């Protein structure tokens, strides 16, 4: 995962206890506005039912911390491993992904009992002072894993409610800290050797290591994200009908799925409406465009006569602009950094095995939990997915 | 649907009020043991979520009785037509069948409110004495429709719970009136002209009309259904591995789906177990085999050197044996009786449009509501489906 | 296949030799206008490459007559069994159907060598006078099997050429004995007991046996087939857009495949054109409509306020009208006649295993070889197929 | 395609005439051993029928050179554009890729007539001295395009013959210049700035431009390709059964397709056999492993505790080892070089639109035409394809 040397040693055990409680509690908070039925469904394969996220993050602590380290620990239910394992081949059979939405049991109430049971045992374990350095590392990984699922929880909840014909709101007055865009500007960087990748204290995922040199050519990058207003111009200029801006695979995707706009946009009575977590609303033209695939980001850039930045350009430039409202598609494939080594065992399955046919996203989004973002973070998704809070920053 | 002349005129308005309440209440009773989550999921396309059944049967009364006949009627929610329409092309857009399990809303509680609202309005309507003869006919159809869905409700609940890795019981002590089989006997019928089809007072579906002559050759039919013991002999004799007993299409189905037994059978630690509504239990060898497809019924009969009866043979012979525990596959395709005419309008979509590529089942099953069976009833399903309570009666 | 008693004993060995040569030669004649490339392709799964038909019919004689009965017979190529077996599970592995069009070898020239080799050996065998009664029966089956494939050959050739963007003609002046329709008339039959099924001397398939009684209600049947003129009226009246005339499954088929006309019809520059074996031509309005699926035949009949005849009605009435230009869809499912028994062994796979989810066609078509039709013949195809020379006769 | 400045100006018109004739003739030579039937089939979507390659390369010269530049030019057949266009959206409708193998016409003989017609017109055009600089550039592109298809021709021919159950040889004595591997050695390179990309005189594709700096870390690369012997060790060590070495997507591919070896390997009677262009032969253990997917190359490297080189590492090191027998999978995604710009018009569709979800292969193979390789060449294929002559070189 990362070297013990990278562990933030300053955080005392007491701090871990509080941090564990805070982060675990935040997952529950995210789900508070839901009806029980909302916890259960899986409208598409990429979305997981909220109760599955709640169970799966709990299963992580049970399986990787409590079971191997607490001799007296009794698993809450021996069948939950089968239900809540996600893709860890090392750890027994698992419910295939498309089946998650078919499972009415364990009930939501049982999943919450499972969380309480494990949280209680974790608290006892942390109180007991048995946290070694390597366990600290694993605990930190588990909490970052939970934060990743907090973002997915919100993303998946939006998908579940936003694909219901009744368009129910998540929270009537939910505001994802919108901020009007300022006027965009291109900042220039000169060619030469730069360094990217994580270094120093604090947590990072293994895919951010190690800090290494890259050679960049002269480039310019925009201080602002592309807005809905600009994206509407692309739509109205026939961007979705002009194959020249699209990758061949992207063009097939557009035609096969009859894509005509970002996800959640609906053309109703001559107006573009947008499903938001507060319900269906008119498009806000000054907001950064959201919920677009890599194919759309790339086609838009091509139409503008520009391009997407590489992840190295983004990281180098990131101190010079504001980021964090949208995951920003880069034109970098998700591949290993020089010297990358997979960890042994189940934890090593975490990142390396996904390093193919996905593109890197940088930054963070309005759905990312507080304290879970840094400018070396490498998010990644397949090129056709729209359901994340994704946007576009142009470069040239 | 059927001629006014066929209406049971003896049932007074008062009786209709009680009958309506009783039948509607029974649907609610069937769902009582469920968790809220169980109402929502749809593990395969043939299964509908319980809350959909509850809403759809309610929608029938709202759409076909209240809306056209009560001038002041206000629909409970105008979007429910979209959600709860099943296959009626006449009545606007509908949620495509595979999507039913993706809908967390309307919530279970809202669906029950919908039922209460419509039941209240129906009660007022019935109390008002506005029931004409043709409306009586439609009301009776709606109640029979609800009873059909009661059977599907139980069937689908079994599928939902029986395909959950935790194998939860529906009711711990649920007994579907098992009865040990007596020793089987072949009864003989001589060739000649017979009559089949519905005649007389009381309700029937349009596909049971009209009473007509058929010519039957000499045949024999068994007084007993095939038992699990006999079916196990077929399995153990390699029945699922011997193409000679199968239709070409059935053999493809066996191989593509790796079918090795009736639905709900599991070979665990050297023993055949059976998921029942009371949970996973050892096979009861004296019980009639259940949850088999037409392909399996036909292959079994071929292996025994016998055949399935035609629906005419079954109906003619039905007074001479007990039936009602399993729907009995016949070797008759589901086609129109001589002189069959579709009704005009949405109600006419009920039966005729399914008269292709399905086989007729006769009798009734342990899941059929009381008072909803007769020996002219024509049930029908595609040849590969196992999820109904289906069984085998042999003929020769 | 059929009882020895049914064998036409009058045909001497000499006659068999000539009959064998004539029928075998006719297959070659059908292929004479083809380019080598035309023998190879398989545009859809239901069509087989012409060279496969030529090899498969040859394989039948090699496998079922020469190999078991000529002790010194050497197979032409031991791998041909794998290539030219169609669906006989008894006789080893076979090339799965969708793969037939991927095989460039054996070359066309090798397939003709195979035919010559087997024909030479068959001639020697027949000359030797070793034809027993049961072998005579098998020989006759093989020749009828070859004739069935002659019809398929022409049907498949039409599909191959008619789905090529160059629309090449099979023969520039190919005439399929068109004959203008006379004015249609309904003939009436009274209810009562009738007999259907094959009886007497001469060949029949096992599915035509045995002669048996049926009870028919009063019915009327038309003396003429439906013409292109009438079918165009259906199209222009919006028949393909009105779900009320279609089976639910047929309606899905229309929408999923965007069906708008019979196969081979093309709306070009405001005119309906028709690909014929002589190339693309304007629709002949007085000709019987051709290349329609069961779904279309049934929807047309419903639109006309009529219905398709049952196979029993058709057979009973068949002496009173001309038939043989189009295979006529009936509303009878393809099921066993009373008392039907499958033969043992590979030959027994011939008919019984297809007796599910197909509809019966009666009569014959312009593509049926001379001497291969009779009014008890039961052809059968799935409900969505258009590629046969199929038409509509109405009843009521 | 590339700057006029990059044109090899030294080649006189005379040389172009000869070069055109030589390269065009080589395509015909490759097809000489084929039967007519072999030109027609398309066993999988990635393979094109040989006659399609012959027509498509001809169509390139007709469409991009003759039509726009010879005022009197008459197209050979106006429907061929529809048949022989590959993926150029700019140039009208095209036969969708899966349909190529369904077309028996134009016949092979017509395709050869088409070639002769266009070659005659091209010769006249070149003789007339009308070749401007930009046309020279286009001509050169057309010839390189033809050479790419020559490689695909051989690759596809191997697939067509190698997937025929008769395993016909392409040429009985075909030798693809096998050469025994020498003992492998790791060569070391120090970290620093290197330059990659095409520069100088002569032809290159647009994706090789422009020459640019990259920063490489210390790395080592092997002088030899991985042999069949080594790959067999991987198989025998259970490499295809151990998920730890595979990308998640690769592991799904292995299981869904039941992959157990490189393409063309068959385990027959306890021995690994290999279909070669000379027929089925025992594995040559000293030969470089061939016909493996990126997933397999990457899994093998992981099993060996090594990795695949990046394309920059490969290019920098390429002068220090022999290459050209196998296309070598790199761990670089196929993306644009810094400053890459698509050409306008149809020619601009050539490379840029494929720059997603494919991996770069470097070098050349035994199937690459003479004179069509250079160490800046960027080949690319999706990660699951095995049908190219691909191999593995390890790095660390």
Give the minimum alpha-carbon distance from A83 to chain B in angstroms, rounded to a whole number. 8
- CATH topology for the B186-391 domain: 3.90.1580
> How would you label A252-274 residue by residue, b for 16+ Cβ within 10 Å and e otherwise?
ebbeeeebebbbbbeeeeeebbb
Least confident piece of the model among A36-50, B83-97, D266-280: B83-97
CB atoms within 10 A of CB B205: 19
Is residue B359 within 8 A of residue B381, CB to CB? The reply is yes
CA gap D119, D62 in Å, rounded: 9
Cα(C145)–Cα(C137) distance, integer angstroms? 12
d(CA C159, CA C168): 11
Residues 6+ apart with CB under 8 A from D338: A217, D210, D212
φ, ψ (nearest 5 deg) of residue B221: -140, 150
Which among D243, D249, D333 has the least Cβ separation from residue A333?
Answer: D333
Measured CA to CA, the distance from residue D288 to residue D323 in angstroms comes to 11
Tell me which chain B residues have a C-beta less than 8 angstroms from the C-beta of A42: 102
- Among the listed ranges A28-37, B8-17, B116-125, which one has the minimum average pLDDT value? B8-17
Query: Residues with Cβ < 8 Å from A282, sequence gap 6 or more?
Result: A271, A272, A273, A274
- Kindly give the confidence (pLDDT) of every residue in chain D, 396 residues in length, as a single tens digit, with 9 standing for 90 and above: 344 444 444 456 789 999 999 999 999 999 999 999 999 999 998 999 999 999 999 999 999 999 999 999 999 999 898 889 876 665 555 555 558 889 999 999 999 999 999 999 999 999 998 888 889 999 999 999 999 999 999 999 999 999 998 999 999 877 655 555 578 999 999 999 999 999 998 999 999 998 999 999 999 999 999 999 999 999 999 999 999 999 999 999 999 999 999 999 999 889 999 999 999 999 999 999 999 999 999 999 999 999 999 999 999 999 999 999 999 999 999 999 999 987 766 666 668 899 999 999 999 999 999 999 999 999 999 999 999 999 999 999
The per-residue pLDDT for range D175-211, each reduced to its tens digit, is: 655 555 578 999 999 999 999 999 998 999 999 998 9
Mean pLDDT of C8-33: 87
- Other CB atoms within 10 A of residue B75 CB: 16
C-beta separation of B216 from B179 below 8 A = no
pLDDT digits (tens, 9 = 90+) for A264-321: 999 988 999 999 999 999 999 999 999 999 999 999 999 999 999 999 999 999 999 9
- Is the four-CA dihedral A293, A298, A299, A305 of positive or negative sign? positive
Mean per-residue pLDDT, A205-221: 96
Q: Tell me, what's the pLDDT at B351?
A: 80
- pLDDT class for A178, splitting at 50, 70, 90? low
For residues A195 and B129, the model is more confident at A195
With a CB cutoff of 8 Å and minimum separation 6, the contacts of A3 are none
Please indicate whether, in this complex, the C-beta atoms of C353 and B212 are within 8 angstroms of each other.
no
Q: What is the mean pLDDT of chain D?
A: 91
- Does residue B89 have a pLDDT over 70? no
What would the mean pLDDT of C373-387 be, rounded to a whole number? Answer: 97
Q: What is the pLDDT of residues D218-249, one digit of tens each?
A: 999 999 999 999 999 999 999 999 999 999 99
pLDDT digits (tens, 9 = 90+) for B194-203: 999 999 989 9
Do C330 and C318 meet the contact criterion of CB atoms below 8 Å apart? no
Asked if the Cβ–Cβ distance from D166 to C106 is below 8 Å, we say yes
Q: Give the closest-approach CA distance of B356 to chain C in angstroms.
A: 7
Nearest CA in chain B to A96: B165
For residue A82, pLDDT beyond 90? no
pLDDT band at B6 (very low <50, low <70, confident <90, very high): very low
- Which whole number is the average pLDDT over A49-68? 96
Residue A176 has pLDDT above 90, yes or no: no
Provide the shortest C-alpha distance from residue D166 to chain C (in Å): 7
Distance from CA of D83 to the nearest CA of C (A): 8
Query: What's the pLDDT at C93?
Result: 57
For residue A339, which residues of chain D lie inside 8 Å, CB to CB?
217
Asked if B104's CB is within 8 angstroms of A160's CB, the reply is yes
Answer yes or no: do C103 and D164 touch at CB < 8 A: yes
Q: Is the pLDDT of residue C153 over 60?
A: yes
> Which residues from chain A sit within 8 angstroms of residue B38, using beta carbons?
104-105
| Residue of B215, B243, B335 with shortest CB distance to C333 | B335
Residue in B closest to A38 by C-alpha = B104
Answer whether C253's CB lies under 8 Å from C349's CB. Answer: no
Nearest residue on chain A to B45, alpha-carbon basis: A102
Nearest-CB residue to A101 (from B41, B79, B106): B41
Mean pLDDT: which of A340-354, B85-99, D210-224 is highest? D210-224
Q: For residue B26, which of B169, B155, B205, B154 has the smallest C-alpha distance?
A: B154
Structure tokens given for D316: 């920098």
Q: Among B36, B83, B106, whose Cβ lies nearest the Cβ of A36?
A: B36
In C, minimum Cα distance to D41 occurs at C102
Q: C293 near C260, Cβ under 8 Å? A: no
Residues 6+ apart with CB under 8 A from C258: none
Nearest Cα of chain D lies from the Cα of C345 at a distance, in angstroms, of 26
Q: Tell me how far apart the alpha carbons of residues A205 and B229 are, in angstroms, rounded to a whole number.
A: 58
CA–CA min distance C109, chain D (Å): 10
Residue C82: the pLDDT is 83
The region of weakest confidence among A331-345, B98-112, C9-23 is: C9-23
Number of A/B CB contacts below 8 angstroms equals: 93
> What does chain D come to in residues?
396
- Residue linked to tokens 């492993």: D289
Cis, peptide link before residue A384, omega less than 30° from 0:
no
Q: How far is CA D215 from CA A358, C161, D8, in A?
A: 23, 58, 31
Residues of D with CB under 8 A from a CB of C: 35-43, 79, 82-83, 95, 99, 101-108, 160-161, 163-166, 168
CB contact under 8 A, D353 and A247: yes
Q: Report the alpha-carbon distance of residue A384 to residue D115 in Å, rounded.
A: 41
List the subunits that have 3+ CB pairs under 8 angstroms with B. A, C
Of A99, A107, A160, the CB nearest to B35: A107
Which residue on chain C is closest to D50 by alpha carbon? C104
Question: Do residues C161 and C266 lie in contact, with contact meaning Cβ atoms separated by under 8 Å?
Answer: no
Q: Is C357's CB within 8 Å of B357's CB?
A: yes
CA distances, D231 to each of D182, D234, D251, D272 (Å): 16, 5, 18, 12
Kindly report the number of other CB atoms within 10 A of residue B170's CB atom.
19
State the pLDDT at residue A143. Answer: 97
Whether residue D165 and residue C39 make contact (CB cut-off 8 A), yes or no, is no
Mutate to test the interface with B, among A45, A78, A85, A104 (most CBs of B within 10 A): A104
Contacts of A161 in chain B (CB under 8 A): 104-105
Choose, out of B44, B77, B82, B105, the residue to mutate when testing the contact with A (most A CBs < 10 Å).
B105
- Map residue A138 onto helix, strand or coil: helix
Do D208 and D378 form a contact (C-beta atoms < 8 A)? yes
Chain D residues in contact with C168 by the CB 8 A cut-off are 105
Q: State the nearest Cα–Cα gap between A102 and chain B, in angstroms.
A: 5
Report how many Cβ contacts below 8 Å link chain A to chain D.
Answer: 71
Residue B375 class from Cβ within 10 Å (0-12 exposed, 13-18 middle, 19+ buried)?
middle
Assigned token pair, C48: 């087989």
| Chain D residue closest in CA terms to A344 | D244
State the average pLDDT over residues C62-88: 90
- pLDDT band of A136, cuts 50, 70, 90: very high
Q: Quick one: average pLDDT of A354-378?
A: 96
pLDDT at D14: 86
Task: Identify the sign of the CA torsion D256, D260, D263, D267.
Answer: negative
Of C38, C82, C99, the CB nearest to D104: C38
State the DSSP H helix or E strand holding residue D122, giving kind and residue range, or none if neither. Answer: helix D108-127
Nearest by CB to residue C163, choosing from D35, D102, D107, is D102
**Alpha carbon distance A122, D35 (integer Å):** 72
Put simply, the answer to whether C247 touches B354 (Cβ < 8 Å) is: yes
**Contact residues on chain C for D37, CB-CB shorter than 8 A:** 36-37, 39-40, 104-105, 107-108
- Chain B contacts of A37, Cβ < 8 Å? 36-37, 39-40, 104-105, 107-108
């Amino acid at each position: 995962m990362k070297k013990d040397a990278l562990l933030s040693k300053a955080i005392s055990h007491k701090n871990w206890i509080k941090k564990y409680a805070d982060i675990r509690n935040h997952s529950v908070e995210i789900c508070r506005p839901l009806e029980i039925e909302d916890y259960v469904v899986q409208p598409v394969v990429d979305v997981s039912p909220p109760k599955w996220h709640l169970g799966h993050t709990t299963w992580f602590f049970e399986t990787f911390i409590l079971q191997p380290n607490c001799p007296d620990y009794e698993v809450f239910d021996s069948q939950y491993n089968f239900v809540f394992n996600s893709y860890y081949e090392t750890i027994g059979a698992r419910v295939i992904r498309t089946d998650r939405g078919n499972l009415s049991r364990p009930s939501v109430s049982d999943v919450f009992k499972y969380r309480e049971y494990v949280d209680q045992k974790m608290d006892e374990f942390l109180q007991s002072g048995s946290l070694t350095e390597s366990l600290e590392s694993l605990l930190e990984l588990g909490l970052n894993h939970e934060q990743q699922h907090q973002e997915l929880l919100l993303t998946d909840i939006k998908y579940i409610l936003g694909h219901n014909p009744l368009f129910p709101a998540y929270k009537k007055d939910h505001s994802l800290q919108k901020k009007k865009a300022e006027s965009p500007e291109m900042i220039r960087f000169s060619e030469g050797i730069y360094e990217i990748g994580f270094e120093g204290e604090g947590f990072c995922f293994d895919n951010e290591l190690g800090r290494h040199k890259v050679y960049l050519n002269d480039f310019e990058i925009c201080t602002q994200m592309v807005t809905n207003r600009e994206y509407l111009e692309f739509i109205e200029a026939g961007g979705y009908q002009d194959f020249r801006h699209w990758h061949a695979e992207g063009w097939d995707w557009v035609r096969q799925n009859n894509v005509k706009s970002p996800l959640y946009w609906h053309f109703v009575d001559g107006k573009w409406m947008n499903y938001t977590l507060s319900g269906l609303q008119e498009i806000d033209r000054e907001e950064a465009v959201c919920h677009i695939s890599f194919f759309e980001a790339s086609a838009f850039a091509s139409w503008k006569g520009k391009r997407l930045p590489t992840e190295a350009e983004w990281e180098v430039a990131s101190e010079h602009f504001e980021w964090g409202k949208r995951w920003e598609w880069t034109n970098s494939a998700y591949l290993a950094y020089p010297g990358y080594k997979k960890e042994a065992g189940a934890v090593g399955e975490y990142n390396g095995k996904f390093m193919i046919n996905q593109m890197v996203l940088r930054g963070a989004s309005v759905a990312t939990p507080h304290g879970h973002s840094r400018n070396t973070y490498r998010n990644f998704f397949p090129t056709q997915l729209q359901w994340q809070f994704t946007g576009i920053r142009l470069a040239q």
